[in-house]
Structure 1
Amino acid sequence: MSKTVEKLKNLLSLGENQTIKYIESDELKYCGPQVCAFLNTKGGYLLCGIDDKGQIKGIANATQVGEQLESQLKSSIKPPVLFSVELQEVENKQLLIIEVPAGKDIPYAFNSDIYTLIDEQVQKADIDTIRDMVMRKQIEPTRWERLFSSELNEQDLSVSACKKLLSAKRIPKEILQSEQGLLHQLQLLSLAKYGRLTNAADVLLASSPGKRHPQARVRAVCYRHKADDEYQDLQHFDGPMFTVIEQIITFIMRNTPLRAHFRTGNNQREELPMYPEQAVREAIVNAFAHRDYSNFSGGVKVEISPVQLKIWNSGAFPQGIDELKIEQGHISVLRNPDIAHILYLKGYMEKLGRGSVVIQEACKNAGLPSPKWHSDNMSGVTLTLFATEVTTEVTTEVTTEVTTEVIKMIDLMSQEHSRDELMKLMGLKNAEHFRKHYLKPALGITPALVEMTIPEKPTSSLQKYRLTPLGLQVRQQLNDKKNK
């Protein structure tokens, strides 16, 4: 089983120190108690379609089964809570992955029974365990998102935002079928209680939540120069969360340059946004889902400069989470589960604990440096995405730092080449001379101009070399100079 565990961890980007359980069945009666137990303890992943020997059996009709199972779980587990069900293909077989964060509103019950984990095994909770859960809940302060929003009434909500939410595909049928009005529907979504709207409803759906919660406004600025001494664009956003998220993403994509991209084996140049929209979207949504809304001097800020994109939100990482665990894709400890639940229902959140992995993979695929997270109790959490150095100014700086030998090699590279092919292109016969004066300097410069096709096996007989996005940009500028 251990080999299967490690293989699936790597394949599914589940990270280290995760609680992972396997069952062969996709039936509600087997999945429900496990999900409930995860919610009442520390969260975890339930993989359906693997037998007790670690053999991958798969799930037949996985798409339909997954949708049905998710709906059944959400109807059977109380109080309402956020978890996700997704499909993943492994060895040409479909698995269902149920990702469950630690619950904030324990005790949770599945079909009126409360389950917990004891020695990693699912068991019905005894009376002492249930009493302990209830007592712990009573002494915990009410979350900011659950407090009533002062002076907010139904007329202050955005009609279009409410319609967009209730038209989302993931909204449970019992909410859509409710005939008791909007306030009752929002109560079923934990956005209202006793006929009053909560702070979560305010920041999610109100036309102007900043009137009551100034910290809900978002500041976005784009600086013109590296020194950050003047800006070319500055905006403040206030409105329903879905609208603001889209406005911020548009702001970022509008104020970042395009980068050149060449497909492998194709000299056709493409112009793509500097930062992949998938990474930008995931980063912005995470900032809204995980920020500390109770901090009245906090909020969300976006800063764009020629060399990086910074997204900051108030509130440090939850206890037990650090930069390393975030990079590994540690399962979420949700600060605002009600807000996160709505973002999930609307389709903004998918992989609850692996948003960081999605961001890293998107940056890697785009040829960008690895993103960095920084957190402390005083300044909150900052995510930095780094640009590739593709502007004329930076490319000139790069070309002056490398030797004429490296420039010659870059100028001749048009696709993936083996070492022998490169030497032949340049008319060289001395392999050691080529390695020392051409290949090694090209691979060693930062940022890199040339990269290996098999970096994990540098001495492989199948090894080839290709230009990085920056190397392609340098070569393009060299060609432009020739043609002038």
Structure 2
Amino acid sequence: MQKEESVRLELKTNAHITSIAKTITAFINTQGGDMLIGVEDNKKIVGVENAAKVRDRIQQQLIEGIKPNAPISSQVITYKNKELILISVWEGANKPYQYKGQIFTRENDRTKLSDQDILKELISERKAADFHWERRAVLGATLDDLDKQEIKKTINHYQVYNSEKTFVDEEDFLIQTGLLQNGHFTNACIVLFAKSPTRFIPQSKIRVTVYPSDTIGDSFLNDRIFDGNVFSNISGVLSFLDVTFGKNIVIDGVVRKEKHNYPLLALREGLLNAMVHRDYNSVNGFLQISIFSDRTEIANYGGLPDGITLSDLSKEHNSILRNPDLAKICFIRKYIEMLGSGTLRMINDCRKNKFKKPSWKQKNNITTVIFPDLKATLKNSEGVNEGVSEGVNGELNTVFNDQSEGVKRELINIYSIIKKNPDLKAKDIANLIDKGLSTAERYLKKLKDEDFIEYIGSSKTGGYHIKK
């Protein structure tokens, strides 16, 4: 509502299907875009009566009428006590798209029939897309290499999205969605559905590492590789993060509720953005989630597409897809809920749940999203506290017999951390035990005074070690 109509934005007063379909087709053939129905050109809000029913009818007619099939997202939004319909689409990967045999494109804020020159350009873009990494053939892969259950789940979702669409079997579905071409499965198909995609595409794995300090080092608290398909990896990584960051029980009135110690939606969006936008073409490509003592980072190989800057990620921006075939299936599976607004949802989720908002950086073709202060602590980081030997444990208990059970437990935990990760500083240990720096330093002094640990090196480069 703050923007004027443009190549990517159209305001409509009425839900006239033909006019809507022409503009949506033009969006798909140009840069993608958004249409808001129930608003006059002068920005006066008039709303849409029976908006939910109208939205369902429009969605179905757009899906049936626009060819080839493209992901179309629509929702009803209440604004100033009026119901509006928002329709969003990506720029298409299979141009030219047509509605009732006609091809439309967008020029500034106008929708127009394409002429011969534009048609040639759209066909040229289509040919270039067919040579994209996603659509290259994977030689040697067979249907037995794919997870048929995941394909069946996707078919079920597809038929909810488009009830008119039918598929004879899994193979027919892959053919109709372009994931099986000329008898060969595509790279996108393997990443999405293979039982062991790294057998064919080694760079498709995801690594998650929990570090004890605020820098990358040789020691770590936990390190996992996820080498399944997209859906297996999403489930596995989110479960890992759930254990690592943990949950708290909060009382809301008389009801006990679980509250995540991290912005669940924001991290989920960050993970999906990285998976969909990463550059799989390079064998050096990677997706790395690093959890430090003061932040969490999600880094993926693949810079921002031309036309998008780092500052654009904090506001409404074009959604230029590096891997449209992956994105389309993730959209059908409802992993991507709205088109082109993932970074905004990340910011809003962090703000809503009182976490610091994420930031982005780009260097050497690597895009990284950073969540400040999102850290693992000793009490919820899987595999951090493995305890100490029975002899040392007994000696610690004996020496600190006059201390409370809580203090003794913290001293044993700190000893265990230093034993597994030598050279940590007091601030790193404070973060890991989720205590203030002065409290951690007090515990460290107790261990140091009794000759269990020692500080080796300078104040800047040194750290704590177990004393021999």
CA contact 1:32–1:110 (8 Å) conserved in 2:
yes
Amino acid at match of 1:117: R
Q: How does 1:89-168 map to 2 (within 5 A)?
A: 89-138=78-127, 142-168=131-157
Contact 1:43 / 1:331 at 8 angstroms: preserved in 2? yes
| Residue in structure 2 matching 1:217, options 205, 216, 223 | 205
Q: Deviations over 1:228-262 (max 9, x none)?
A: 44222211112221121011011112112557989
Structure 1 position 311 matched with structure 2 position 298: yes
The within-5 A match list for 1:135-214 is 135-138=124-127, 142-168=131-157, 170-175=160-165, 177-179=166-168, 181-214=169-202
Q: Does 1:387 pair with 2:373?
A: yes
Q: Deviations over 1:188-227 (max 9, x none)?
A: 2222223332111111011111100001111111123334
Alignment-mate amino acid for residue 194 of structure 1: N
From 271, 282, 287, the counterpart of 1:300: 287
Residue matched to 1:37: 26
Count of aligned residue pairs for this structure pair: 380
Q: Which amino acid aligns with 1:71?
A: Q
SS at match of 1:167: helix
Sort the Cα spacing of 1:195 and 1:69 in 2 relative to 1 into closer, same or farther, 3 A.
farther
Residue 148 of structure 2 contacts residue 170 of structure 2 at CA under 8 Å; is this kept in 1? Answer: no
TM-score, length of structure 1 as denominator length: 0.72
1:25 corresponds to which of 9, 14, 19: 14
With over 3 angstroms needed to count, the CA separation of the structure-2 counterparts of 1:283 and 1:65, relative to structure 1, is same
Indicate the SS of the match to 1:255.
Answer: helix
State the SS of the aligned residue for 1:113.
coil
SS of equivalent to 2:49: coil
Q: What is the CA RMSD across the aligned residues, in angstroms?
A: 3.0
Give the secondary structure class of the aligned counterpart of 1:123.
strand
Q: Distance in 2 between matches of 1:339 and 1:284?
A: 14
Task: State the one-letter code of the partner of 2:198.
Answer: G
Structure 1 position 391, deviation (Å):
7.2
1:429 corresponds to: none
Counterpart residue number, 1:464: none
Partner of 2:413: none
Q: Where does the alignment leave 5 or more consecutive residues of structure 2 unmatched? A: 380-434, 440-468
Amino acid corresponding to residue 310 of structure 1 in structure 2? E
Matched AA of 1:210: T
Question: 1:31 deviation in Å?
Answer: 1.0
Residue type matched to 2:21 in 1?
A: G
Aligned partners of 1:77 and 1:299: how far apart in 2?
36
SS in structure 2 at match of 1:358:
helix
Q: Is the 8 A contact 1:217 1:236 kept in 2?
A: yes
Residue 408 of structure 2 aligns with which residue? none
Q: Equivalent residue for 2:339? A: 352
Give the Cα separation in 2 of the matches to 1:27 and 1:267.
49
Pick one of 291, 311, 316 that aligns with 2:278: 291
Give identity over the alignment, percent. Answer: 27
Counterpart CA distance in 1 for 2:332 and 2:338 is: 12
CA–CA distance in 2 between the matches of 1:296 and 1:347? 29
Q: Secondary structure at the match of 2:105?
A: strand
- The TM-score, its normalising length taken from structure 2, stands at 0.74
The AA in structure 1 aligned to 2:271 is I
Q: More displaced, 88-97 or 71-80?
A: 71-80
Seen in structure 2, the aligned counterparts of structure 1 residues 127 and 389 have a Cα distance that, compared at 3 Å, is closer
